[in-house]
Amino acid sequence: MSNEPPPGQPPEDDPFLKKPSEPTPPGGGGGMPPGGTPPGGGTPPPGSGAPPPGGGPYGNPPPGGPYGTPPPGSPYGSTPPPYDAYGGGNQYGAPDPLSGMPPLADFGRRLLARIIDALIVAIPLGLLEWATSGRYMYESKSGDSTSDVVSKAYTGSGLAWTLIGIVVYLGYDTLMLKRDGQTVGKKLLNLRVAMLNDGSVPTTSAALARTAVLWVPALLCCPCLWQVILIITILTDKPYKQGLHDKAGKTVVVSTAH
């Protein structure tokens, strides 16, 4: 008896035999059980469509993640106040260099105070020089040219009085400023010279540097031109209105009027 199937009927183990379709399990094909987790645990294979354990990159972010709520104590949890070394600030959070300082002195009062101080020193010094040497009387009557007058100022008694004038001007301003920051003219006009960094009374070295730049060039060669240069630097300097002499001493001139 033959075991061959009847003609027209394919054998049961025929690879081309179409078997009945089985229902596809929920969650995708490929034998993946529901939930996307392969048998025995482990990481789902790529392309399976299942998110990795612990939340996928586009699913719900883990607490405290870069796109979630910052964890407690995070430096980015709140915007810190702007740093302001001077205790103030502007609308952009930048420190205000004038915050905490008294108001800067206006130029008119500074100029008037300087004129008063110059006269306080110049008048007694000029009278003393005239009484002892008669140099000014001689120059006014002799008809000397300007160059002759200048040359006489730096020879003999003229040179001695020029040096005396430098010492007196330097001594007057330096001693006054290092005592309380005020010369006579500044006290009358309610002004004070202060150190820029902390507002204290100028040190001896600061007061001497400031005074030297203020007076020595004027007394040696060009009084009018040098004063114009100082005035220009005061008017154009921002924000502290410092002339060249203020920059040399690292000082500012402030108002004491209330």
pLDDT band at residue 232, thresholds of 50, 70 and 90? very high
| Bridge partners, 195 (sequence order) | 251
Does residue 194 sit in helix, strand or coil? Answer: strand
Tokens of 27: 């969650």
pLDDT at 2 over 60: no
C-alpha 121/C-alpha 111 separation (Å) is 16
Q: Among residues 183, 14, 180, which one has the least CA distance to residue 113? A: 183
Tokens of 118: 């110059």
Does residue 59 sit in helix, strand or coil? Answer: coil
Cβ pair 167, 216 in contact under 8 A = no
Q: Among residues 206, 117, 232, which one has the least CA distance to residue 168? A: 117
Question: What is the DSSP secondary-structure string of 154-168?
Answer: TSHHHHHHHHHHHHH
pLDDT in tens, 167-226: 999 999 999 999 999 999 999 999 999 999 999 999 999 999 999 999 999 999 888 999
pLDDT at 240 over 70: yes
Query: What residue ranges do the domains of the chain occupy?
Result: 107-255
The pTM is what? 0.57
